[in-house]
C-alpha cells in the first residue's frame, strides 16, 4: 500500500486527482479500524495531517470556516461559543483519545448515519466545502451532502476542505441515546437550533434513517407555533406535536443497538426535551453561545 504525504492543499488535490483510489486519512479513527479489521484495503493512503490549510478555522464575512482536519477536542475548546450544538455533540464522541484525533471532516467523509457531528451541522444549516483539482470548489449544504448509508455527495477526485456555519444566534442543543454513558455509537441522536432573528428552527436526526436528516415538517410547525415576539411559554401541546413530527420524520431500523420502535420513541422524547431547554434559554435571554 502506497503512503502519500502531501504538505499543501494544492498537492493533496493533485494527489487525489492522480490517484482517485487513494483513501484520505485524517485522524484515522475510522480508517485505521477498517484497515486493521481488513474491511478495507485501499491502493494508497493519502495522509492529510501535514496539510496546514485543513488544521485551522477562521471567520470569513461573519461565518465560520472550519478546516476538515480540526479535531473534536478543538471544537470543544475553541468553538463552544459560536457552535454550541456541535461542541455538545463533540463532547459525546468516543474518548479523549478519539476526540484528540477524530475530526468533523472525518465524520463527514465516513458519512455514517450514526455520526455525531451530522445532526448539529444539519440544524445549524452548515455548508460543506469540497474541492477537486479538475472542477474546483463545490459548496454543498449539509442537507444535500448525505446520500445513503455511508455515502455522500463527495466525488472520487474530491476532498473535503472545510465546513461553513453561521455563529449561533439562539440556543442550540444536542442529545444522544447510547447503550451506555460514554464511548458509544448513538442508538439515536437529535439536534435543535433556534434561529430567532429569522423565526426559524433547525433540526437534525442521527441514527434514525439511512442518512442523517432534518425533520422539516417539525421545523415548519414549530416556527409558526413559538411566540417569538413576546418569548411566551411553550405550550405542552406544541412540544408534544413537535416530538410526534420528529418521530414521523425518522425511518429507523432494528439493529444490535436498538429497535426501530425504541428509536422512534426516544427521538420524540429528545425532541421535546431539547426544545424545552432551548426555548427556556431563549425566554431567559440567552444568545445560545456557551462560555468559552
Ligand X SMILES: Cc1cc2nc3c(=O)[nH]c(=O)nc-3n(C[C@H](O)[C@H](O)[C@H](O)COP(=O)(O)OP(=O)(O)OC[C@H]3O[C@@H](n4cnc5c(N)ncnc54)[C@H](O)[C@@H]3O)c2cc1C
* Binding residue (CB under 6 A) for ligand X from 17, 44, 55, 98: 98
* Binding residue (CB under 6 A) for ligand X from 33, 59, 134, 147: 33
**CB-side neighbour CA atoms (13 Å) of 71:** 17
Q: Is 160 in the site for ligand X (CB under 6 A)?
A: yes
Whole-angstrom Cα distance, residue 190 to residue 202? 11
Please state the closest distance from residue 177 (CB atom) to ligand X, in A. 12
Taking alpha carbons only, the member of 128, 103, 106, 133 closest to residue 19 is 133
Whole-angstrom Cα distance, residue 280 to residue 287? 11
Contact 24, 18 (CB under 8 A): no
By C-beta, is 92 or 243 nearer to ligand X? 92
Q: Is 159 in the site for ligand X (CB under 6 A)?
A: yes
By C-beta, is 183 or 235 nearer to ligand X? 183
Site string for ligand X, 191-230 (x = CB under 6 A): ----------------------------------------
Distance, CA of 292 to chain centre: 20
Please state the closest distance from residue 166 (CB atom) to ligand X, in A. 22
Q: Is 88 in the site for ligand X (CB under 6 A)?
A: no
Taking alpha carbons only, the member of 73, 19, 25, 33 closest to residue 50 is 25
Taking alpha carbons only, the member of 79, 75, 59 closest to residue 291 is 79
Please state the closest distance from residue 30 (CB atom) to ligand X, in A. 3
Q: Is 113 in the site for ligand X (CB under 6 A)?
A: no
Q: Is 74 in the site for ligand X (CB under 6 A)?
A: no
Q: Is 105 in the site for ligand X (CB under 6 A)?
A: yes
Contact 192, 216 (CB under 8 A): no
Taking alpha carbons only, the member of 213, 216, 210 closest to residue 190 is 213
Q: Is 31 in the site for ligand X (CB under 6 A)?
A: yes
Where on the chain is the footprint of ligand X (CB under 6 A)? 23-31, 33, 48, 68, 92-94, 98, 101-103, 105-107, 109-110, 115-116, 159-160, 183, 185
Amino acid at each position: 500500500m502506497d503512503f502519500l504525504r502531501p504538505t499543501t492543499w494544492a498537492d493533496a488535490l493533485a494527489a487525489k486527482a492522480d490517484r482517485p483510489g487513494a483513501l484520505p486519512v485524517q485522524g484515522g479513527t475510522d480508517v485505521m479500524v477498517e484497515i486493521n479489521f481488513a474491511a478495507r484495503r485501499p491502493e494508497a493512503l493519502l495522509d492529510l495531517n501535514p496539510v496546514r490549510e485543513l488544521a485551522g478555522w477562521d471567520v470569513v464575512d461573519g461565518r465560520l470556516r472550519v478546516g476538515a482536519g480540526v479535531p473534536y477536542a478543538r471544537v470543544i475548546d475553541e468553538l463552544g461559543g459560536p457552535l454550541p450544538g456541535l461542541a455538545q455533540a463533540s463532547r459525546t464522541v468516543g474518548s479523549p483519545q478519539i476526540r484528540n484525533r477524530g475530526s468533523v471532516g472525518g465524520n463527514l467523509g465516513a458519512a455514517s448515519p450514526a455520526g455525531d457531528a451530522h445532526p448539529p451541522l444539519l440544524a445549524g444549516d452548515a455548508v460543506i466545502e469540497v474541492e477537486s483539482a479538475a472542477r474546483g470548489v463545490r459548496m454543498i449544504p449539509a442537507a444535500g451532502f448525505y446520500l445513503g448509508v455511508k455515502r455522500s455527495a463527495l466525488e472520487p477526485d474530491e476532498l473535503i476542505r472545510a465546513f461553513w456555519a453561521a455563529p449561533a444566534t439562539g440556543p442550540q442543543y444536542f442529545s444522544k441515546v447510547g447503550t451506555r454513558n460514554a464511548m458509544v455509537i448513538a442508538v439515536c441522536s437529535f439536534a435543535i437550533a433556534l434561529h430567532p432573528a429569522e423565526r426559524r428552527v433547525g433540526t437534525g436526526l442521527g441514527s434514525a434513517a439511512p442518512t442523517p436528516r432534518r425533520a422539516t415538517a417539525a421545523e415548519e410547525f414549530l416556527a409558526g407555533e413559538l411566540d417569538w415576539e413576546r418569548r411566551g411559554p411553550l405550550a405542552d401541546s406544541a412540544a408534544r406535536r413537535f416530538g410526534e413530527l420528529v418521530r414521523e420524520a425518522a425511518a429507523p431500523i432494528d439493529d444490535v443497538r436498538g429497535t426501530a420502535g425504541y428509536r422512534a420513541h426516544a427521538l420524540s422524547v429528545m425532541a421535546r426535551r431539547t426544545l424545552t431547554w432551548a426555548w427556556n434559554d431563549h425566554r431567559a435571554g440567552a444568545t445560545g453561545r456557551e462560555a468559552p
